[in-house]
Amino acid sequence: MVGGVNARFWGRVALGAAVGAVGYLAVRSVRVAADGGRRSYLGAVTIYRPPAEVYAFWRDLPNLGRSLGRVVRVDEIDDQRSRWVVEGPGSSEVDFIVELLADEPQRLLAWRADGAPVPHEGRVEFTPAPGDRGTEVRLYVTFTPSGATAVGPLSGDRVGRLLSDALRRVKQIIEAGEAITAEGRSSGRDAYDRLPAPDDAGSARLTPRPDPEPSPMPWPATGGPA
């Protein structure tokens, strides 16, 4: 199954799988273990809504799938099992079964996805946050040994990033009604009149200050995500 498939494919599939698994929430995902091919990740985030609401959002798997992006569709087969259809390479689709192992309303969801391209098991826990801060959500995902090869092309950082992005998305949709996008922003990088000539008329270099200016910061001046 692994041979000849590129890393981007696995990136997508892993995301869908994690997503499928995940109930999510976590602003930061930390790799917590790497032994014997099993890789575990923890993500945690606080959502400013009561546990009942957060749990209900999670438990509604088709809704969860819609919120995550890159998940084409989730069909519930029965109380335990659902079929997740996620985007594969090009316009292809990949599907796999997610089986719920535990479902404790307002407290916990656990699942397993053995047949997924990236086999894994996961658990999401909901705890009331102190004060009026909503619900603490902790997500644990373990890629099972047979899946380790499949995850191979993905760096641990990348998986953690995918999980935390997904968690962030869920938080945004629950709290704000939508996940704000950075896509489609207009900028001079796509300017219609952008000419390579450094001295073109529309452009001007500001004259330096008379006193020495501090140099730019030690981090790159560019380098934000696209």
Partner 1 sequence: MARDGGTGVKALCWEGVNKVAVRTVPDPRIENAGDAIVRVTASSVCGSDLHLIGGYVPAMREGDILGHEFVGEVVELGPGVRTLRTGERVVVGSTIGCGGCWYCDTGRWSLCDNTNPNAELSERLWGQSPAGVFGSSHLTGGFAGSHAEYVRVPFADHGAYRVPLGLDDDAVVYASDAVPTGWMAAEMCDISDGDVVAVWGAGAVGQLAARSALLLGAERVVVIDRYPDRLAAARDNAGAHTLDYRTTDVQGALRELTAGRGPDACIEAVGMGADSDGLTGVYDRARHLMRLRSDRSGAVREAILACRKGGTVAMVGVFAGAVDGFPLGAVMHKGLTLRSGQQHSQRYLPVALDRMARGDIPTGYLTTHRMPLDEGPRGYDLFKHKTDGCLRVVFHPQG
The DSSP letter of residue 190 is G
* Contact flag: residue 15 with partner 1 (CB under 8 A): no
CB 183 within 8 A of CB 69: no
Q: Per CB under 8 A, which region of 67-75, 85-93, 103-111, 209-217 contacts partner 1?
A: 209-217
CB 126 within 8 A of CB 136: yes
Please enumerate in sequence order all residues whose Cβ is within 8 A of that of 22, keeping only pairs 6 or more positions apart, or say none: 43, 122, 124, 139, 141, 163, 166, 167
Q: How many whole angstroms separate alpha carbon 54 and alpha carbon 164?
A: 17
Q: How many whole angstroms separate alpha carbon 28 and alpha carbon 44?
A: 6
Task: Kindly tell me which of 35 and 209 has the beta carbon lying closer to partner 1.
Answer: 209
Q: How many whole angstroms separate alpha carbon 25 and alpha carbon 125?
A: 9
* Contact flag: residue 197 with partner 1 (CB under 8 A): no
The nearest distance, CB 24 to partner 1, in angstroms, is 15
* Contact flag: residue 184 with partner 1 (CB under 8 A): yes
Task: Kindly tell me which of 46 and 67 has the beta carbon lying closer to partner 1.
Answer: 46
CB 125 within 8 A of CB 47: no
The nearest distance, CB 156 to partner 1, in angstroms, is 15
By CB under 8 A, the residues from 87 to 146 that bind partner 1 are 132-134
* Contact flag: residue 218 with partner 1 (CB under 8 A): yes
Q: What binding mask, one character per residue, do residues 141-170 give for partner 1 by CB under 8 A, x or -?
A: --------------------x--xx--x--
* Contact flag: residue 199 with partner 1 (CB under 8 A): no
Q: How many whole angstroms separate alpha carbon 26 and alpha carbon 44?
A: 3
The DSSP letter of residue 158 is H
* Contact flag: residue 185 with partner 1 (CB under 8 A): yes
* Contact flag: residue 216 with partner 1 (CB under 8 A): yes
Interface residue with partner 1 among 31, 147, 180, 199 (CB under 8 A) is 180
Tokens of 143: 């890629």
**Footprint on this chain of partner 1 (rule: CB under 8 A):** 27-28, 46, 48, 132-134, 161, 164-165, 168, 171-172, 175-194, 200, 202-209, 211-225
